[in-house]
Amino acid sequence: MYYPWLVTIPPLLVLAVALWSRNIIIAFFVGILTAALVVANFNPFATVSIIGHHTFNTITAIDNLYVYAFLLLMGVVVSLLSFTGAATAFGDKVSNHIKTPRQAEQSTLFLSILLFLDDYLNSLTVGYVMHPLTDKFKIPRVKLAFIIHSMTAPLAMIIPVSSWLAWIIKQIELSGISLDPSENPIIIADPFYVYIKSIPYIFYSLVMIFITIFVINRRISFGPMADHEQVAQETGNLFGGKPPILHVLSHDQGNIHNSSLIDFLFPIFTLIGTTIFGILYTGGFWMLGGPYSLIQALQHSEIFPILFYSCIITLALSIPLFLFHRKISLPQIPHIFYKGIHLMILAVIMVFFAGIFAALLREDLKTGEYVAHLLINYFSLQFLPFLLFVVSALIATCTGSSWGTMAIMTPFAVPFLIDLLHLQTPTNLDGLCFLFPCLGAVFSGSVAGDHISPISETTIMATTSSGSHVMDHVYTQLPYGAIALVSTGAAFLVAGFVPCGNYWISVGTSLGTGILISVISLLALNQRSRK
């Protein structure tokens, strides 16, 4: 490769094409082709070979296959809820107690919090279940997508019993933090304890969740989101004046009177219950015959196979139940599967392209490492949390992957901090309180970039579930995400200069600064929008 800076061109080009064309598939195609050309030094034959190699690896990777199968089967579960009228029956039951748009949005928020266990499960369930209710109050689909998207990954990052836990702990271990002397740690500490201490410093998650709640409760609206809300209220069009997404399932009206709340709750609770059981059982939880504690079981579990098998079990139990109660008939089952697969096929295609593109950036171009080393060289120690946040957010935005960003930045940030402090290794946590805001900055940036990136899987899931146009969601969410970015950046600037010896003063001062900036910004922009 003749010019190292060329590794930044493919992700920037993908973002530019996505914003210009408003077509994610075209953007991914351009990005994959450009990345492969750079890797191959613009040799066309080598370019084809590289694309073929990554396509094969992406298709055959077992975790990817589980993800694709889970998405398709989740579509079938959604289709079943639609066909039987169970989802609409749930909406009707809930709507009896909901009288205002604020209450409808609060209900969406509450359901998202209940489904914190996994971001995919959260995204794909909440939007579909709630859109009949939000439609009733003329809440645009982009607003629904915003609520979903702003809660899924931020919640999964800060709740230490989510499906993200194993990955986060693994990255902390790979950074050189361990209690096991055989692993030659540079910091002798329990990785889970370090993660717990870092949670209050994951400012982006905390600020974004606060912003979402504040926007809903105070009826804040500005920018493109306000335009969509105005169109919805004046015309009833929930897509900003555009036609609806064609592949979104409509809720069946024919079976509503024959459906009960049990028809909705049974599949949903079966899905959640089998997921929780699967995580604990496969992780070796001691109450289920294994050798591990709850936290250790969460670390040892495999989330993607569990989600897949949970969908299988849910369908295997729900379909006979609906057949027995004559909500569906045997000849209708193939149609239900067809509609569910059709619902998710575009999401699977986008996730597939995202996987190829991320592999090219991570394995061949090493874009994240280049950006990290390029920017981190210009700073003093007090600015380290801020710079780690900015670099992590840039990498996650360009790659569309929070997990990939953590894998790049966590093993980079911890040894870097040790070198800056000129500490002898192995060391312990005494006097190393600055580690927590640095890790919080990496985790915050990973979530932030993933949240605002038009090419992230969470963006795809939120728009698929809510039935909104992808780029409309990106544009309408961006002003709110920008406020969270600026507020979080300010919080990490404060964290770098406030002594971390008093843990809660450091956290409170830094986070309080971020929250204050976000409140002032939201109120000012909302007031300006109403003039």
Mean model confidence pLDDT for the chain: 84
In this predicted model, what pLDDT tens digit does every residue of 308-358 receive, in sequence order? Answer: 898 899 999 999 988 888 888 898 899 889 888 887 787 788 778 877 877
Q: How many CA atoms lie within 13 A of 145 on its CB side?
A: 31
Say yes or no to pLDDT of 194 above 80: yes
- Asked if residue 476 has pLDDT above 90, the reply is yes
Lowest mean pLDDT among 58-62, 242-246, 291-295, 462-466: 242-246
Q: Give the model confidence (pLDDT) of 481-503 as tens digits.
A: 999 999 999 999 999 999 888 88
Mean pLDDT of 422-435: 82
Q: How confident is the model at residue 36 (pLDDT cuts 50, 70, 90)?
A: very high
The pLDDT of residue 271 is above 60:
yes
Locate the domains of the chain by residue range: 4-60, 62-242+255-365+378-529
290-303 exposure pattern, b = at least 16 Cβ within 10 A, e = fewer:
bebeebbbbbbbbb
> Which residue in this structure is represented by tokens 């069946």?
252
Least confident of 155-169, 205-219, 377-391: 155-169
Mean pLDDT value across residues 174-181: 79
| Nearest-angstrom CA–CA distance, 189 and 255 | 57
Query: Among the residues of 377-502, which ranges form H helices?
Result: 384-399, 402-421, 435-452, 457-466, 470-497
* pLDDT of 88 strictly over 70: no
Residue 142: closest CA among 132, 153, 131, 151: 131
- 18-33 pLDDT per residue, tens: 767 767 678 888 889 9
What was the pLDDT predicted at 60?
86
Say how far apart CA 128 and CA 391 lie, in whole Å: 34
